[in-house]
Amino acid sequence: MPVDPLHSAPRTPRGAPSPGGPSVERAPTAAGADAVEVRRSARRRRTVSAYREGDRTVVLIPARMSDAEEKRWVGVMLDRLAAQESKRILGDAELAERAGRLSGQYLDGRARPATVRWVTNQNTRWGSCTPAEGSIRLSHRLKGMPEYVIDYVLLHELAHLLVPGHGPAFWRLLDAYPRTERARGYLEGVVAADRLPYLPAARSE
């Protein structure tokens, strides 16, 4: 699993939406389960913000931003909102229940941990497991991250109960989870934000 820097919170732009000013609106588009509307403002220079409006997400960006930058920032802001909305912290019992549900959904119920719990002494890993004991531990630094990221780390450790190491057989288990690459990208971004030379374990082919 990846090393977790001491200051691992994703860096996000500061500032509230610029008041007034013309804006360019784009029609809502589907981004996974999210309906997203991007609004460009000539008066907005550098700040990016987002908020929920009914069943869609509105992302406010500077008018001069390129299409590639727009796409990147939409992803960043969707993740930021998801993290804010998942502030309800799962207790150990809820975490164990979630692990059981994920095992049944993606691993045919074959991974059956004896214990699943949060720990506060795991500053160099997102998660770990001890197959001989059937125990899984998740770093408290994951708390507040999007739920799909927590699910990925849980599945990663559940898969280690079945397959040690990071060989092809291990990654085939995680291929069943549709947000594996997105979650890995999120965690890599957290590490890169602090410019540390640690990255999540690379896929072995």
Q: What is the pLDDT of residue 16?
A: 35
Per-residue model confidence as pLDDT tens for the chain (205 residues): 433 222 233 333 333 333 334 444 444 443 344 588 999 988 887 788 888 776 688 999 999 889 999 998 998 888 888 777 665 567 788 889 999 999 999 999 999 999 999 999 887 889 999 999 999 999 988 887 888 889 999 999 999 999 988 999 999 999 999 989 988 888 888 777 655 444 444 443 3
pLDDT of 119: 92
Prediction pTM value:
0.56
Report d(CA 14, CA 55) in Å as an integer: 25
What is the Cα–Cα distance from 135 to 118, expressed in whole angstroms? 11
pLDDT score for 38: 92
Rg (CA), the chain: 19
pLDDT for the residue numbered 190: 77
Own/partner contacts of 192-199, CB < 8 Å, gap of 24 or more, are 193/8, 193/9, 193/10, 193/11, 194/5, 194/7, 194/8, 196/3, 196/5, 198/2, 198/3, 198/5, 199/2
200: nearest Cα among 166, 151, 163: 166
pLDDT at position 167 is: 92
State the pLDDT at residue 86: 60
Could you tell me what percentage of the chain is helix, strand and coil, using 3-state DSSP and rounding each to the nearest 5?
Answer: 35, 20, 45
